[in-house]
């Protein structure tokens, strides 16, 4: 299905090439590159958040290598919506070509602009809206309203002489959206009439049967929870989920409570949403944290970040009793109006336990309907396939299990199985004469951001971190006479992350000394060989004595 790295052939005249540099085979860092007539169009450029096996990493970027020598050939980047996994890597791309046109809806570009300011970049933004057409070099684009967990999301149709491509972006089909902005299924049907040659479809929830409850049905649940609360209420949700926050605002207003926003990104994003008319803030509703704290206990709702258990977030600090101004008290109510992203369970439940322990009642999606997903599950995806009736399908945005499930749905609606292309990151798909097929594969690796630098932390460093994180290290330092190989001082042996027992390594000192005498007697003065011998003797001792595998770090200094 995917196979080894294999340079793709030259793209035939009149053909369209599609390569994902991120986002297929994983959830995050979405970035798809389209090529026609020697020119490139990029759809989305997001970041991926690291997992346990990538310790110390802040962000993971798409791998730009396949296009970094061709940035002059890029006609535009089109952004489908403003989530981090779709826009977060744009500044890293713009560093390489700052004037690259970036196309997106108003809210998406406002979020990008805020991000670019942090990176001291001044992007070349082209605002579009649903129903609009735009031509970017070789690519004729048309934009469609789609419903997602952030306002102002778009799908994009891309027309070239090779055919018509439709990319959903992230999508769902809420039939009662809070802002009345429906996913443009009629528009998709019209494209279907015209004939969609390749359909790239969000796979995130393809394994989930059925339909998503409307976002607006969360309002009454929040109303019940906040209405029943006699003390402070804290609601945590994603800082870009404007409609969720809107519902909290409306319910707070109905119950005579003021609202304070907690967390830098929450304050920033809701400011942008208000400015753009996407968030309706009743006069006098918003107060700052100190004002809210001065209100009677039943007078305030705090809307906070930290719904994923991020250790430095406001909510995590509250759960540990370490927040600088908000102390949780018995009888307070905390609502996690958010998803639980796989991998974050331990952190999120840690926060829930901390809050419970302080006496708060914690409402979350496990015990109340306070969250709905932003991605179409199987039932909604079937609507999409039936509207679009595509000739070829390429599931995007998901791990393998999601891609496979999405492909099966396409097949069930009548797409021939051989026209469903499961192509993870780096797989090169050509659309030629109406047929999409895999023609090769380019290398797409993980590009890690750790602190200020990009790319210097790679698999070798991570592998060392995993070993150090599991077992710590034992360092042995030996100073030798460079002429004789004789140790000029006793070996220094110390461990970190190995044992709490200060005497744990005492017994190995004599073993090292014996080994050093032996080495000296053989006339060995090569520091590398001495280091190897020391590593071997200590490694064996630790394995036999403790059955552990710390990193063994010998240093031999010739003096």
Return the active site residues.
202, 375
Stretch that binds its own copies, among 90-98, 99-107, 126-134, 358-366 (CB under 8 A): 358-366
The reply on whether position 131 binds its own copies by CB under 8 A is no
- Dihedral sign from CA coordinates of 319, 321, 322, 327: positive
Neighbours of 474 (CB within 10 A): 26
- Tell whether 397 is in a known binding site: yes
Give the β-pairing of 427-432 and 16-22.
Answer: antiparallel
- Tell whether 119 is in a known binding site: no
Residue 272's SS3 state is helix
Structure tokens at 446: 């993980």
CA dist 538 and 518 (Å) reads: 15
Nearer to its own copies, 416 or 497 (CB): 497
Work out which of 130, 223, 310, 399 binds its own copies, going by CB under 8 A: 399
Q: Minimum distance from CB of 398 to its own copies (Å)?
A: 10
The reply on whether position 349 binds its own copies by CB under 8 A is yes
Stretch that binds its own copies, among 9-17, 34-42, 160-168, 545-553 (CB under 8 A): 545-553
Structure tokens at 263: 């967390």
Beta bridge partners of 436: 431
Q: Minimum distance from CB of 555 to its own copies (Å)?
A: 5
Residues 2 to 41 in contact with its own copies, rule: CB under 8 A: 2, 25
468 and 56 in contact (C-beta within 8 Å)?
no
Half-sphere CA count of 268, side-chain side, radius 13 A: 14
- Tell whether 364 is in a known binding site: no
Binding mask 150-189 for its own copies (x = CB under 8 A): ----------------------------------------
Residues 412 to 451 in contact with its own copies, rule: CB under 8 A: 450-451
Residues 362 to 391 in contact with its own copies, rule: CB under 8 A: 362, 366-367
The reply on whether position 321 binds its own copies by CB under 8 A is no
Residue 477's SS3 state is strand
Give the chain's end-to-end CA distance (angstroms, integer).
58
Nearer to its own copies, 193 or 470 (CB): 470
Nearer to its own copies, 210 or 416 (CB): 210
Identify the DSSP state of 559.
-
Residues 45 to 104 in contact with its own copies, rule: CB under 8 A: 51-52, 55-56
Stretch that binds its own copies, among 122-130, 298-306, 399-407, 530-538 (CB under 8 A): 399-407
With a CB cutoff of 8 Å and minimum separation 6, the contacts of 147 are 153, 171, 172, 173, 174, 177, 181, 182, 183
Nearer to its own copies, 280 or 327 (CB): 327
Residues 298 to 317 in contact with its own copies, rule: CB under 8 A: none
- Tell whether 233 is in a known binding site: no
Q: Minimum distance from CB of 342 to its own copies (Å)?
A: 4
- Dihedral sign from CA coordinates of 148, 239, 223, 350: positive
Structure tokens at 75: 């006609």
The reply on whether position 541 binds its own copies by CB under 8 A is no
DSSP element (H, E) containing 143: strand 139-146
- Tell whether 148 is in a known binding site: yes
Write out 282-314 in H/E/C secondary structure.
CCCCECCHHHHHHCCHHHEEEEECCCCCCCCCH
Q: Where are the alpha helices (DSSP H) in 446-526?
A: 459-471, 506-521
Work out which of 190, 357, 369, 518 binds its own copies, going by CB under 8 A: 357
Q: Minimum distance from CB of 28 to its own copies (Å)?
A: 13
CA dist 14 and 35 (Å) reads: 10
With a CB cutoff of 8 Å and minimum separation 6, the contacts of 458 are 448
- Tell whether 265 is in a known binding site: no
Work out which of 118, 120, 283, 346 binds its own copies, going by CB under 8 A: 346
- Tell whether 170 is in a known binding site: yes
Nearer to its own copies, 113 or 466 (CB): 466
Tell me the residue length of the chain.
Answer: 559
- Dihedral sign from CA coordinates of 432, 433, 434, 439: negative
Nearer to its own copies, 129 or 545 (CB): 545
Q: Minimum distance from CB of 106 to its own copies (Å)?
A: 33
Residues 461 to 520 in contact with its own copies, rule: CB under 8 A: 461-462, 464-473, 475, 477, 479, 488-489, 492, 494, 496-501, 504
Nearer to its own copies, 146 or 427 (CB): 427
Sheet with 393-396, strands from edge to edge, namely 133-136, 139-146, 153-160, 163-167, 198-202, 393-396
Q: What's CA 266's distance to the chain center, in Å?
A: 18
Neighbours of 77 (CB within 10 A): 28
Q: Which residues are documented as binding site?
A: 56, 58, 81, 83, 85-86, 148, 170, 239-241, 371-375, 397, 450
Binding-site residue positions for substrate: 239-241, 371-375
**What residues form the annotated binding site for Zn(2+)?**
81, 83, 85-86, 148, 170, 397
């Amino acid at each position: 299905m995917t196979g080894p790295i294999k340079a793709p052939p030259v793209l035939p005249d009149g053909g369209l090439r599609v390569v994902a540099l991120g986002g297929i085979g994983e959830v995050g860092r979405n970035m798809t590159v389209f090529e026609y007539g020697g020119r490139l169009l990029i759809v989305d450029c997001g970041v991926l958040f690291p997992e346990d096996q990538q310790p110390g990493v802040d962000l993971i970027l798409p791998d730009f290598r396949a296009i970094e020598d061709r940035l002059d050939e890029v006609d535009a980047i089109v952004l489908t919506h403003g989530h981090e996994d779709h826009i977060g890597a744009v500044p890293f791309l713009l560093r390489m070509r700052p004037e690259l046109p970036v196309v997106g809806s108003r809210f998406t570009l406002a979020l990008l602009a805020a991000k670019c300011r942090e990176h001291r970049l001044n992007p070349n933004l082209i605002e579009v809206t649903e129903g609009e057409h735009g031509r970017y070099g070789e690519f004729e684009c048309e934009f469609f309203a789609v419903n997602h967990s952030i306002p102002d999301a778009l799908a994009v149709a891309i027309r070239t002489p090779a055919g018509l491509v439709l990319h959903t972006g992230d999508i769902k089909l809420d039939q009662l959206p809070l802002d009345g902005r429906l996913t443009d299924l009629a528009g998709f049907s019209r494209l279907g009439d015209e004939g969609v040659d390749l359909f790239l479809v969000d796979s995130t929830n393809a394994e989930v049967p059925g339909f998503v409850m409307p976002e607006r049905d969360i309002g009454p649940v929040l109303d019940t929870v906040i209405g029943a609360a006699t003390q402070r209420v804290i609601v945590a949700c994603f800082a870009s989920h404007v409609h969720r926050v809107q519902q909290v605002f409306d319910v707070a207003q109905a119950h005579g409570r003021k609202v304070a926003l907690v967390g830098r990104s929450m304050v920033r994003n809701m400011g942008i949403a208000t400015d753009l008319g996407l968030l309706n803030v009743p006069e006098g509703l918003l107060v700052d944290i100190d004002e809210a704290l001065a209100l009677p206990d039943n007078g305030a709702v705090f809307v906070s970040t930290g719904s994923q258990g991020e250790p430095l977030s406001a909510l995590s600090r509250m759960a540990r009793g370490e927040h600088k101004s908000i102390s949780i008290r018995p009888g307070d109510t905390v609502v996690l109006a958010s998803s639980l992203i796989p991998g974050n369970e331990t952190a999120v439940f840690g926060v829930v336990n901390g809050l419970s322990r302080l006496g708060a009642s914690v409402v979350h999606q496990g015990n109340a309907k306070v969250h709905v997903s932003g991605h179409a599950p199987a039932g909604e995806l079937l609507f999409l396939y039936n509207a679009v009736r595509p000739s070829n399908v390429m599931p995007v945005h998901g791990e393998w299990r999601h891609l496979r499930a999405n492909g099966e749905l396409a097949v069930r609606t009548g797409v021939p199985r051989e026209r469903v292309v499961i192509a993870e990151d780096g797989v090169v798909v050509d659309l030629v004469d109406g047929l999409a097929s895999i023609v090769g594969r380019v290398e797409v690796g993980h590009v890690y951001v750790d602190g200020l630098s990009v790319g210097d932390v790679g698999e070798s460093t991570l592998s060392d971190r995993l070993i150090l994180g599991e077992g710590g290290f034992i360092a042995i330092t030996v100073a030798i006479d460079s002429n004789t190989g004789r140790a000029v001082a006793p070996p220094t042996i110390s461990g970190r992350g190995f044992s709490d027992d200060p005497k744990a390594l005492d017994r190995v000192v004599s073993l090292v000394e014996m080994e050093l005498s032996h080495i000296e007697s053989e006339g060995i003065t090569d520091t590398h060989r001495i280091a190897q011998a020391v590593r071997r003797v200590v490694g064996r001792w630790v394995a036999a004595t403790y059955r552990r595998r710390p990193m063994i770090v010998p240093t031999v200094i010739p003096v």
